[in-house]
Amino acid sequence: MKNYLLRGLLLVLPLLIVVGCSSGTAKEQKQDGKLTIVQSDQEKPLIISQPKGTLAQILQKNGQNVTVLKKKYKPSIPWDQEVKAETPVKLQCNCQVNFVLSGKKVGTYQTTKQTVGGFLQEKKVKLTAWHELLTPVNQRITDGMTVTVDQYEQKVKKEISELPFEKKEEKDDNLEKGKKKVKTKGKKGKKVFEVVLNLKNGQLVSTGEKRLVKQIEPEPEVVLLGTKEKENGPPEGGQTMTVEATAYTHTGNPTATGVMPKRGTIAVDTKVIPLGTRLYIPGYGYGVAQDTGGAIKGHIIDLFMDSEEECQSWGRRTVKIKILD
């Protein structure tokens, strides 16, 4: 039994010796001097083996332009400090960034922010649903890069389409035949539309559907057409007589001669002017004595007019008429 235990112990001791040797090798690898320098604008760190000296000296020995680095980076330790291999060094880039907003260059800025999002926050730029950032918000800031933010917007534009008016004609027997006169001026109508304009950086990129929001109907123009026969000048010859001329219009009754009155029918006192006599009245024209009236006595005549308005316009006048036959 004792011999068996002794043999087992002798087998374990070499194993412990081997394991102990392996642990010593790992410790030596951990202490193998390598300096890690992380540049904020670079993806891969700079690994320097067996560093000796200050940060500036180590970088100079490894082919780096320290003068340029000092202008561009802010180190996590002083440039003239001795470097320990176990402590990583960070060089924070004071990068130059071009900023373009809404299609226009706002300026060129120095920043130590590591990401695009940090830079925008530093510049107090608040992005909304109407903005488009062309670089990812978490993209690393690099020297000389351009950060671009496009701006979208919508504007409502009004468009007006005119509607022409129609012309209507009305006959007017107070207006000389062949003449025209505007009674009511026409007015154009219009349709008012709204169109949505989609803009990018102030430039039109597309338009929305046109929508009718208001419609004003046109008003027709009314033109009077003259139907009144042109009055010829007074005829030569014939007997003249000065009379008072009044006017009357439709009553629904026939004249004393049995015909319905019309323009040119004149009521007379038959003791002065016989029925059937042709007459010429200045301002009225030619007519025939075809009617009589209770108030028509002596040198008074009554002229038939087509409307009450014409009668009122004529009134009562003293005129020198001509008796033609």
Q: Which of 96, 127, 136 is nearest to 113 (CA)?
A: 96
- End residue of a domain, out of 51, 76, 93: 93
**Number of domains into which the chain is organized:** 4
- End residue of a domain, out of 93, 111, 131: 93
Residue-wise pLDDT tens digits, 194-220: 999 999 999 999 999 899 999 999 999
Confidence of residue 233 (pLDDT cuts 50, 70, 90): low
| 23 within some domain | no
| 170 within some domain | yes
Confidence of residue 27 (pLDDT cuts 50, 70, 90): very low
Q: Clarify whether residues 188 and 169 are in a common domain.
A: yes
- End residue of a domain, out of 46, 73, 93: 93
CATH of the domain at 285: 2.40.40.10
| 58 within some domain | yes
Q: Clarify whether residues 73 and 111 are in a common domain.
A: no
Q: Clarify whether residues 253 and 294 are in a common domain.
A: yes
Angle formed at CA 79 by CA 78 and CA 85, multiple of 5 degrees = 85
Q: For residue 203, what are the β-bridge partners?
A: 200
User: Which residues span the domain enclosing 69?
Assistant: 34-93
> In the predicted model, what is the mean pLDDT of the chain?
86
| 311 within some domain | yes
Tell me if residue 220 falls in helix, strand or coil.
coil
| 29 within some domain | no
Confidence of residue 305 (pLDDT cuts 50, 70, 90): very high
Give the integer Cα–Cα distance in Å for 15 and 13: 5
